[in-house]
Structure 1
Amino acid sequence: MGTDFWKRSRSARSSGVAAAFRAPVGGVLFALEEVTSWWRSHLMWRVFFTSAVVAVVVRSAMNWCNSGKCGHFGAGGFIIWDISGGQEDYSYQELLPVAIIGVIGGLLGALFNQLTLYITKWRRTYLHKKGKRVQIFEACLISLITSTVSFVLPLLRKCSPCPELETSSGIQCPHPPGTDGNFVNFYCSKDNEYNDLATIFFNSQDDAIRNLFSAKTFHEYSAQSLITFLVMFYSLAVVTFGTAVPAGQFVPGIMIGSTYGRLVGMSVVKFYKKLNVDEGTYALLGAASFLGGSMRMTVSLCVIMVEITNNLQLLPLIMLVLLISKAVGDFFNEGLYEEQARLKGIPLLDSRPKQVMRNMNAKDACKNQKVVCLPRVSRVVDIVSVLQSNKHNGFPIVERGQNGESLVIGLILRSHLLVLLQSKVDFQNTPFPCGPGILNRHNFSDFVKPASSKGKSIDDIHLTDDELGLYLDLAPFLNPSPYIVPEDMSLAKVYNLFRQLGLRHIFVVPRPSRVVGLITRKDLLLEEDGNTATTELQSTSVRAYLNGKTAGGSAHLERPLLDSLMIGGVNT
């Protein structure tokens, strides 16, 4: 169906990541790895095209804003946190602390997912039932608590003397008022002092992360300040996630990970004094480990972290911490997005079926369901009643066979029924199949769901009593060849069909059926003849069929694919 061409959700997500983090390739991989359970190869060029366009537009806008007319937007280019001047090599002795960072990221990420899951359930049980005003009040209360804590905690910290900085670095300690950067003077008694905790709090998250990632900034932050910020920011991130504010988890996750990563880096600097170890490098690894432990992405996160930091030399270490953090996190629960999707009832399929499905068959999954069918020629009032009584998205269309059994002839979607009911042009007075030419009354675009809307609802359609008494022939609008499985097929195989083919419905039919033929892979192969510019089919049967049509042979009468099968169940 052509509606897939207008479903831009994957492209939108990839372009959003490409624009927010200046990571076009990472955005493509993010759409491939995280936001979909089914991927078609021709979607790749669409996602890549949108990410490439976003990359060019953002780059052009930044070049135009370099004059200073756009404020902070024009600074930085595509690389947000450039740490290419930091640690360029690593020793095998650093693999142990790097592995520790991965374990910490997996533990904290799994704990974060579990806590946010509990709080989200509590919100849905108590707060959301009390109306939107309570949700707005909750967001305002959390904002007030965050502002108060961010102001009070730096007051409790003592100021530190400014370190000796090279003149060529361009860094001032403390930095001038009204600017962002390292070394914030927050109620310090002397002019040459700074508050390391205020340096993290009183900067934008972008600048705070840049400060934590910055290279050759030894002893800029104390361990006490980093621990204080980690506990506070982690707790507030857990509480804030899921509130009625447009906020994400990517940048806060980088903040959390870079904080404990820098803590580990400070310990490594003290323990391995002879090695060229940089604290900013471990902050980067910590950020990657927490994102891997929480979101459970590997390839896309690895590419995104490399793109936004412009440091390809740390790629092996980033890969290592991502693998360890994901393995540790998977031991406790699922990823953040998977947990939230399951909580909201979104049918997002995992990569593998559950073990219990291997001992079940397709009939077990639908034996408690009542199949809602529609006859080929249905009364309008019956169609409206079916749509109002359930929320199924697909309905089998049946006809009476010669022996009186109900034979399924196809599948019709709920959205298509709503289009037919709203147009009313196909209503007829007699309960008999319609003649040819009925499809000319509709355009293909009539059945395309707009990408920016949720589609039609049965409540939006108003029919008179006379119209409800008319009939509607559904045969011209159904799908005559839906996917079917035998009732004794393993449920694990059915699960894989849904995931690999991107299905929404599958018919479950009895096992006994007549075999028409057998198609092999060779029957579908085509060979291009470069000299004659003709196509040669490998399969002799298909070639014979085409030759018969060319010679004027009569085509077979069109038959529904499931004409000889009784319906046993349908997944809606």
Structure 2
Amino acid sequence: ATGTEALPPRWGRVRARAWAGASRAMWHSMSGSDDHGPLPPHSRKDKRLGSWPRRPSFLRQPLWQSSSRKSFLLGPQTHRLPFRVMWGITVATAFSMAIINFITIIAIEYSVRWKFWMMDRAIRGSGVVPGIIMLTVISMFYSLIGVCLIMFVAPSCGGSGLPENKCYLNGSNLPGFYTKRTLRVRVATTILANAAGFPVGREGPTVVIGSNVAYLISQYMAQPYVSEWINVSQEGVSRSALLVDEERFEHATRIACAVGGACGMAMIFNAPFGGILYMFEEINAFAWPLELTFRVFVSTMFCALVSYGMLNACGTDIEEFVIFAFVQQNKNWHWTDIPWFILTAAMLGAITSLHTRGMLAFASIRQNMATKLKRFQPGAKIVETLLYCAVCALASAIVSLSATCVEEGGSGLQYVLFNCEDGHYNPIASLLVNTSHSSVKLLFSGNNGGEIGFAASVLAFVTYYVLNVGLTGLPVPGGAFTATMLLGGLFGRAVGSVARAWGLSTTVSGVYAVVGSAAMLCGFKQMTLAVVLIVVECVNDLTLAPVVMLSVSVSMAVNWNINKRGHDEEQIERKDLPFLEGEAPPTLDNLLAISCCDHLPAEAMLPPQAPEPKVRKALDIAGKGTMFFPIVDPETHVCMGIIKRSYLEDACTAQSGKALKRDLSRAFAADPFAVQDHANLSTVSTIMKNAANTMPLYRLMDPTPFIVLEDMPAPRLYYLFAKAGERFAIVVSRECKFRGIITRLGLIRTARHGPI
């Protein structure tokens, strides 16, 4: 195909008008021929278009026949990978996550059992105080290993990772976040953090682990299908380049990462449907690809089956590692409980808001302290983490001493004896010294309605609340998902105990714990459907669905009047991570497209063919923050395409005859706006050096970018990035002259902080 009839749909009338103003002399010199191809089909009806100049010969190549450049025609929301490849990624991700989850729960289980065995041995032999010291020392030992791995090997693993994971699924690139190193460290430190007794769960890191596994598998299986050697030969010079279509690759990896995240959430609570809805709300419905629904459905089902099989093979069963028990329990509720459920949900809606604000305040305080003590890092952070681990262990143990020993119930759950005799257990120690996962299971039980009473629930709630809020900002990999469920369950159980004591309710306190957990969790995450389904699957009782939905509705109504965003969204804002909301913010209402353009020095505008020194100068002057360079006709000032920084860097490296070595970051970049491209994804593999050192940039550019007028309202172009998934757009004047580039990161800056 030659001529303008081969223009892709995205070229559009604006692009055609732009070419109308270009210099014919330049095109003649490049093509060496006067043949510009036939007229466009529609020009037969419109004689005014008969004088259009044709596309230059170097742009007549039918780009959509090149598999590595299909995104020029298809757009960013399509991968077009073979059927077997995507399903291979899906199954491999599900199977890998089942194995990793199995290893994680076994490691946590036996690490905690050994810690309790050593504590019990010290208590039996020397008394309670040596037992508490033993508990503290072992917890600090686990914590020391974990924090050293984070600070010296993978700093990005310090935290749940959910805000960063949410940003990647939203369409932003986070270089160095999904690597083999971060995967290994995150798995190991998640085990150590839970074994150490920090007030955290493992759901956040497990979701990120699932996305990390899926990303690595996709990189191995999908990259060969989005790569192709491109002929960039000139007369008398044989040259070639390996091009990776990163837009198609990224779309495929985001689908895979969503599958991995859903598997992670499903494995934590044995809630396949809850995992599906969690990722649906995490990604946002407007960015949910149609094919993802069935892939997530199959992957979560596959994970559940593999987990059951592995647990049965090792002589145990799934009930040891999920929240609900398989035995039938009395969880009936009555209409007289409805006012108490509403009261519990309303109070927890306000408490959740305070909980979120407290966590953010502690994070800011620790960030300021880290800045002041920068010269003592990372030692200061390691010492602070160890001291806080000791505080958690000592506080939990000391508070547990005030509890009265209770005879073990008939539910067969994991109790902590602590200072009690055989056949009895310490209710507060079972809630605080134990892992949060086991504590929630104990709260949800319907067979010990009066065993964990009002005093124990309130004391455990206050202690865990303070410890959980104070943990924020420390390099500890853990999620607050289970922690907020535990807090809500404690508060709900306390309300249930009061109602039973006053004779106003006959429902077991475990039902109130379920209602409280759902109310607290939905306010923290600001999710509804996923929370309801996960909690209902946790208790294995669909009859509780109506009251759980009621509590979620009331809690969300109260929470939205206090907090505009959930905890993860607040963390994204605080860390200044690249994220686009589904709707344009009010800050863009009075802005035009030209106000959203990135700062671009004149040296960054390159001609179609440029000498190597000019390209290197453009890279140096523009700086690392400039990720896209316009290819501009120097005579007509018409933008002919866009080329990525990574393409230019690799081309210059190959031009000099050096082997390509990409900088593999050991940690997630401190400033996500400073780097955009994946550090481990090479784009231009080899370009053979020629005598003139002239680089044919037009062979590597994207010749069909989206184009917007400079006076277009900013909210209208916002959806091009937020919903269509574009990473950049060209801004032109009414005369089709190049005015600037709007990038995704630049638009995020403008939406948050106003025009630069």
TM-score over 0.5 (shorter chain): yes
Q: Is 1:290 matched with 2:524? A: no
Residue 88 of structure 1, CA deviation: 5.0
> Could you say which residue in structure 2 is the equivalent of 1:434?
none
**1:418–1:457 CA contact under 8 A, matched in 2:** no
> Could you say which residue in structure 1 is the equivalent of 2:742?
570
Residues in 1 aligned to 2:263 and 2:342: alpha-carbon distance in whole angstroms: 32
Deviations 1:47-97 (A, max 9, x none): 3443333222212112212x25xxxxx441785324884455444433322
Q: Is 1:305 matched with 2:535? A: yes
> Could you say which residue in structure 2 is the equivalent of 1:148?
394
Residues in 2 aligned to 1:63 and 1:110: alpha-carbon distance in whole angstroms: 42
Residue 241 of structure 1, CA deviation: 2.9
Does the C-alpha gap of structure 1 residues 329 and 415 become closer, same or farther in structure 2, counting only changes over 3 Å?
Answer: farther
Q: Is 1:221 matched with 2:469? A: no
Residue aligned with 1:412, SS:
strand
> Could you say which residue in structure 1 is the equivalent of 2:355?
112
Residues in 2 aligned to 1:320 and 1:422: alpha-carbon distance in whole angstroms: 61
Give the counterpart of 1:196 among 390, 403, 427: 427
**1:258–1:286 CA contact under 8 A, matched in 2:** yes
Does the C-alpha gap of structure 1 residues 351 and 265 become closer, same or farther in structure 2, counting only changes over 3 Å?
Answer: farther
Does the C-alpha gap of structure 1 residues 200 and 481 become closer, same or farther in structure 2, counting only changes over 3 Å?
Answer: same
* Displacement over 6 Å in runs of 4+: 466-469
Residues in 2 aligned to 1:272 and 1:382: alpha-carbon distance in whole angstroms: 84
**1:162–1:194 CA contact under 8 A, matched in 2:** yes
Kindly indicate whether structure 1 or structure 2 has the higher relative contact order, using CA contacts under 8 Å at least 6 residues apart.
2
Residues in 2 aligned to 1:203 and 1:387: alpha-carbon distance in whole angstroms: 55
* Paired-residue identity, %: 25
Give the counterpart of 1:22 among 270, 282, 285: 270
Alignment of 1:34-53 (within 5 A): 34-35=282-283, 38-53=287-302
**1:81–1:209 CA contact under 8 A, matched in 2:** no
Residue 312 of structure 1, CA deviation: 1.2
Residue aligned with 2:723, SS:
helix
Does the C-alpha gap of structure 1 residues 569 and 204 become closer, same or farther in structure 2, counting only changes over 3 Å?
Answer: closer
Deviations 1:238-257 (A, max 9, x none): 12233212211111111111
Does the C-alpha gap of structure 1 residues 192 and 10 become closer, same or farther in structure 2, counting only changes over 3 Å?
Answer: closer
Does the C-alpha gap of structure 1 residues 216 and 411 become closer, same or farther in structure 2, counting only changes over 3 Å?
Answer: same
Residue 149 of structure 1, CA deviation: 0.8
> Could you say which residue in structure 2 is the equivalent of 1:397?
631
Residue 281 of structure 1, CA deviation: 0.8
Q: Is 1:491 matched with 2:491? A: no
Give the counterpart of 2:494 among 263, 282, 286: 263
Does the C-alpha gap of structure 1 residues 496 and 205 become closer, same or farther in structure 2, counting only changes over 3 Å?
Answer: same
Does the C-alpha gap of structure 1 residues 212 and 412 become closer, same or farther in structure 2, counting only changes over 3 Å?
Answer: same
Residue 19 of structure 1, CA deviation: 1.8
Gaps of 5+ in 2: 1-246, 669-676, 747-756
Counterpart amino acid of residue 156 in structure 1: S
Alignment of 1:380-529 (within 5 A): 380-388=612-620, 389-400=623-634, 404-424=635-655, 455-456=678-679, 470-510=693-733, 512=734
Does the C-alpha gap of structure 1 residues 383 and 201 become closer, same or farther in structure 2, counting only changes over 3 Å?
Answer: same
Give the counterpart of 2:368 among 117, 122, 125: 125
Aligned residues, how many? 474
Residue 565 of structure 1, CA deviation: 4.9
> Could you say which residue in structure 2 is the equivalent of 1:322?
552
More helix by share: 2
Q: Is 1:378 matched with 2:550? A: no
Does the C-alpha gap of structure 1 residues 318 and 469 become closer, same or farther in structure 2, counting only changes over 3 Å?
Answer: farther
Residue aligned with 2:638, SS:
strand
Does the C-alpha gap of structure 1 residues 420 and 23 become closer, same or farther in structure 2, counting only changes over 3 Å?
Answer: farther
Residues in 1 aligned to 2:650 and 2:301: alpha-carbon distance in whole angstroms: 36
> Could you say which residue in structure 1 is the equivalent of 2:346?
103
> Could you say which residue in structure 1 is the equivalent of 2:116?
none
**2:393–2:433 CA contact under 8 A, matched in 1:** no
Q: Is 1:138 matched with 2:370? A: no
Residues in 1 aligned to 2:425 and 2:322: alpha-carbon distance in whole angstroms: 28
Residues in 1 aligned to 2:576 and 2:613: alpha-carbon distance in whole angstroms: 31
Residues in 1 aligned to 2:476 and 2:694: alpha-carbon distance in whole angstroms: 49
**1:86–1:278 CA contact under 8 A, matched in 2:** no
Residue 304 of structure 1, CA deviation: 1.5
Gaps of 5+ in 1: 69-73, 172-179, 428-445, 514-563
Does the C-alpha gap of structure 1 residues 121 and 468 become closer, same or farther in structure 2, counting only changes over 3 Å?
Answer: farther
Residue 278 of structure 1, CA deviation: 1.9
**2:600–2:626 CA contact under 8 A, matched in 1:** no
Q: Is 1:358 matched with 2:607? A: no
**1:23–1:78 CA contact under 8 A, matched in 2:** no
Does the C-alpha gap of structure 1 residues 327 and 355 become closer, same or farther in structure 2, counting only changes over 3 Å?
Answer: farther
> Could you say which residue in structure 2 is the equivalent of 1:549?
none
> Could you say which residue in structure 1 is the equivalent of 2:163?
none
Does the C-alpha gap of structure 1 residues 102 and 405 become closer, same or farther in structure 2, counting only changes over 3 Å?
Answer: farther
> Could you say which residue in structure 1 is the equivalent of 2:41?
none
Residue 320 of structure 1, CA deviation: 2.1
Does the C-alpha gap of structure 1 residues 58 and 91 become closer, same or farther in structure 2, counting only changes over 3 Å?
Answer: same
Residue aligned with 1:409, SS:
strand
Does the C-alpha gap of structure 1 residues 379 and 199 become closer, same or farther in structure 2, counting only changes over 3 Å?
Answer: same
Structure 1 window deviating more from structure 2 (477-486 vs 376-385): it is 376-385
RMSD: 3.6
Residue 236 of structure 1, CA deviation: 0.9
Residue aligned with 1:567, SS:
strand
Residue aligned with 2:738, SS:
coil
Does the C-alpha gap of structure 1 residues 125 and 191 become closer, same or farther in structure 2, counting only changes over 3 Å?
Answer: closer
Residue 262 of structure 1, CA deviation: 0.7
Residue 140 of structure 1, CA deviation: 0.7
Q: How does the TM-score come out when normalised to structure 1?
A: 0.74
Residues in 2 aligned to 1:181 and 1:139: alpha-carbon distance in whole angstroms: 28
Counterpart amino acid of residue 262 in structure 2: S
